[in-house]
Structure 1
């Protein structure tokens, strides 16, 4: 019931004084306690520890940033190196293709020249065989002709010459030998 009376008296507009200690109210005491707490923190070196911790974190982040920058530079250098290698490989492939095409053209030209030379040699061999066959045939015809002429001459001589005409020929041959 006493509490009820206090509540009613406050509701009726009665004003009570705030509690104080040593003439200071609660706000002053909270301010003093806060200053004491901050003084202890400063005295124990907490700001220095916080600063050192922040500096350490800053140094670590800076180190990571430097490493990241170095990695980026390395990646760019590798990229440039591989792009150069790719370009060199493309150039080499183009050169190889050009050499292969030139080699193929050379081989085709050589094959054509070889085929032409082979045709020429075979033609010459055929002409030589034909000429040899013609020469052989001509020789055979001459021999046959000479044989036929010799046989015909022998037959004519045998028919037209008798012993008396042979004697006259022999005498004539001896006379020409004796004169000469």
Structure 2
């Protein structure tokens, strides 16, 4: 297989219509070590600006580009790490990690992050579609799951549109900056064999 064919198979192009009328090309593909700088910046920006994540930028375990490169490689071993690229920069990501224990190895847990300026433009939906395509080829995966804050109704709607169901709710699991608390919802999708 030549390099161009491999590249075509590893990238999925999507046209996303932005609100101000422009069309921008979004490429969804698996991440690699050369993405470390752009992915690190994306994650930092999402954490700094999203009320829907359970931690802040200074609470990340990955603190350097070198650590980010190592993390990217580990994600490949444990599951998959997808990135959404626009104009040469990463604007979103999805990572799925499989359980490490034999009795739960059939389960994968994932999370999605999209830069605030690129949210509500279909990028999360495209990342989800690519994840489900990848998962469909993994015959030993029987379930994928995620955690989402109850106030993140847009994300919950997205997950439900792919067939995810609420499997549990942890009351007042997240402490908000304003002193209020939010529930965490566990959602799961049982895969067809």
Q: Specify the structure having the higher radius of gyration (Cα).
A: 1
Tell whether the structures are fold-level matches, with TM greater than 0.5.
no
Higher fraction of strand:
2
**Highest relative contact order (Cα 8 Å, sep 6+), 1 or 2?**
2
- Aligning the two structures, in what range does the TM-score lie when normalised by the shorter sequence? under 0.3
Normalised by the length of structure 1, the TM-score is: 0.14
